[in-house]
Structure 1
Amino acid sequence: MNIYTLPKGTYSEKATKKFLEYIDGDYNIKYCNSIYDIFESVSNGGLGVVPIENSIEGSVSLTQDLLLQFKNIKILGELSLDIHHNLIGYDKDKIKIIISHPQALAQCRNYIKRHGWEVKAVESTAKAVKIVAESKDENLGAIGSKESAEYYNLKILDKNIEDYKNNKTRFILIGKNVKFKTLPKKYKVSIVFELKEDKPGALYHILKEFAERNINLTRIESRPSKKRLGTYIFYIDFEDSKEDLEEIIKSLKKHTTFINILGRYPVFD
């Protein structure tokens, strides 16, 4: 079986190797150029690992949208990694343009601004490092992981350049099913829904259902519904409880036009 992730040297690859410590069975890592490519590959079988949220820049919008689009794919597990960005290239004093993934550029915004560099976004941090390595252009620098610098035999010119040091990213394991060697005690549930009525108090009725059951919400976020301006869908993560999940969903359906369970899954350290 295959497990799909972003290119070698990305934090997604690192998260994938961590997940493989918990997964039962033999999986070959296959590298994709984009998050969309991972979802498309997983829809035909196997597993995938994608980023879903960063502690500094928030949710990865594309991952959120694709979880709704690919209805046959579920969240099967979650883990978090510390993220430490590095300036990678040839000569720091000659750099004029910095390239990296949009999230990495945003997480190092102040550092980049202090140096007055131009920025260019690419599909992944590893792609950025690869471009710098192949171009051999001293005017280019990349932001990426230590592993990507080692893989492409480039210098780390500056370490830990992220603006906030408590920088973590949540990664999710996606697919149709999986068997784990051991399971942690902590579980989460993720759902997405659209409110039935766009009026004051509509979201309150949803939150009330959780409050009355003493269920802790770990994340709530709105995204444009893409139907018309001003309409939204909501993503909620909550700690799994002893409550019957079917009963919870039934109570929420009274207030929604649709509701999908994106996954009921273990959270690994």
Structure 2
Amino acid sequence: MENKTFDELLLPVRNDIDRIDKQLLQLFIERMQCSERVAEIKRKAGIPVLNAAREQVILDRVRRDAGEYGDSAVALYSAIMSISRARQHTMLESGGALRALEQNSPRALLENPRIVCQGAPGAYSHSAALRLFPGREPVFLPGFGDVFEAVRNGDGDYGVVPVENSDAGSVSEVYDLILRHRMYIVGAADIPVRHCLCRAKGTGAVQKVISKQEALAQCTSYLEQNGIAGEVFSNTAAAARYVAENRPEGLGAVCSADAARVYGLEILAEDIQNTDNNCTRFAVIAREAVLPGDADKISLCFSLPHTTGSLYRTLERFALSGLNLTKIESRPIPGQNFEYDFYLDFTGNIHDERTLALICALSGEMPRFSFLGNYKES
């Protein structure tokens, strides 16, 4: 078919589409104006923006009336209702507590802060602390819970904790502690992970190694190929220290080269992790939010209402706002069977009006909602 003939066939159809689009746009504007009138009525009545039952009735009717286009019509109307709710939330200035937090929180971290982290000198947490706070030596504590307690009690200004590894996934215990203690994330850094097989100098062949559970999981290929068993220890650097101090025959440690040097261990093999680009993301936790003007990563946690498509419609709102999700993960809610919290990371800045409006809207609609922080990631 020649291009001229093809264009001639399309022209009347395109004209119909343009005419229909013009009508749709006018109807959309009228619908949004109705939504604004609804917002004023809700303001006076003091009722919430979201009416999930009415929305579901509308979606059921749309699916039925649209026939073979039912699913597509539901997707369209879901987007329209999300936009409508967002407009109402903006008019009603929903999320008063979050708006106050955005206005009143400091924009910069403390100078010369006291830093706490889990582990021992030479641990990856040590490297992360020095990257995030150059020149500030951290205080080392035995466990993640101890780090959170120290920050909560004021014994430390900031805690540095691992939240995710590119191979082994999230550190679930840390996320649970963030919510339990209602801490904020105020900074983050990605630290390359380069594991070494080490032993005390002068000891025999390594038959078993000790290290942190995540470190052992990151080195399974090397350990299996060499017939080396693994045993979980509290921390990579603590494992290195134990081997150096006790000099056990046949027992080595999986740790960083820094830890090996700190404790005088012999490095038998370097880069034994499963992948070359292995890295761990560390977060800085604090009692109070710090919201820099140039922050570029936002973390949230929330549960969802028990309605069909609630996750899809929630994620759709980020897309409509032009925000890029970088992480989504579900975690079971303790004590509630088959109930889940969702952790989200996305790029953005809470000082942006549209971004703040979305977060405030979500805070008013979700059964459980926590703003975890807006921070720079280095």
Same fold per superposition (TM over 0.5): yes
Asked if the contact 1:184–1:267 (Cα under 8 Å) also holds between the matched residues in 2, the reply is no
Pick the aligned partner of 1:216 from 324, 346, 349.
324
* Alignment partner of 1:16 out of 126, 129, 141: 129
Counterpart for residue 36 of structure 2 = none
For the Cα contact (< 8 Å) 1:94–1:139, is it kept in 2?
yes
Larger Rg: 2
Instruction: Report matched runs for 1:101-180 at 5 Å.
Output: 101-177=212-288
Give 1:255 shift.
4.5
* Structure 1 residue 246 displacement after superposition: 3.7
Task: Structure 2: give runs of 5+ residues left out of the alignment.
Answer: 1-112
Residue 338 (structure 2) pairs with residue 192 (structure 1)? no
Q: Which amino acid aligns with 2:117?
A: T
Provide, for residues 115-173 of structure 1, a one-character-per-residue CA deviation record: whole Å limited to 9, x for no partner: 22221101110111112112211210100011111111110110010010011111111
Provide, for residues 34-55 of structure 1, a one-character-per-residue CA deviation record: whole Å limited to 9, x for no partner: 1111111011221110111111
Count of equivalent residues: 260
Cα contact 1:219–1:236 (8 A) shared by 2: yes
Displacement of 1:245 after TM fit?
4.1
Aligned-residue CA RMSD (Å)? 2.2
1:33 aligns with: 142
Letter in 2 for 1:232: Y
Structure 1 pair 219/92, CA: closer, same or farther in 2 (3 Å)? farther
Corresponding residue SS for 2:138: strand
Amino acid at match of 1:74: Y
- More helix as a share of residues: 2
Relative contact order, higher structure (CA 8 A, sep 6+): 1
Match of 2:192 among 62, 82, 85: 82
Greater share of strand: 1
Distance 1:92 1:189 in 2: 48
Give TM-score, length-normalised by structure 2.
0.65
Q: What is the percentage of aligned positions where both structures have the same residue?
A: 35
Q: Report the secondary structure of 2:238's partner residue.
A: helix
Q: Cα distance 1:179–1:28, how it changes in 2: closer, same or farther (>3 A)? A: farther
Query: Structure 1 pair 132/27, CA: closer, same or farther in 2 (3 Å)?
Result: closer
Determine if the alignment matches structure 1 residue 230 to structure 2 residue 338.
Answer: yes
Q: Check 1:221–1:127 CA distance in 2 against 1; reply closer, same or farther (3 A cut).
A: same
Distance in 2 separating the partners of 1:153 and 1:85: 16
Q: Distance in 1 between matches of 2:372 and 2:205?
A: 47
Deviation readout 1:76-124 (Å, 9 max, x if unpaired): 1111111100001047962121110011000001111112222110111
Q: Secondary structure in 2 aligned to 1:43?
A: helix
* Distance of aligned partners of 1:28 and 1:159 in 2 relative to their CA distance in 1, 3 Å threshold: closer
For 2:369, the equivalent position in structure 1 comes to 259
Of 343, 353, 357, the residue aligned with 1:247 is 357
Of 209-218 and 250-259, the range deviating more from structure 2:
250-259
State how far apart, in whole Å, the 1-side matches of 2:353 and 2:266 are. Answer: 53
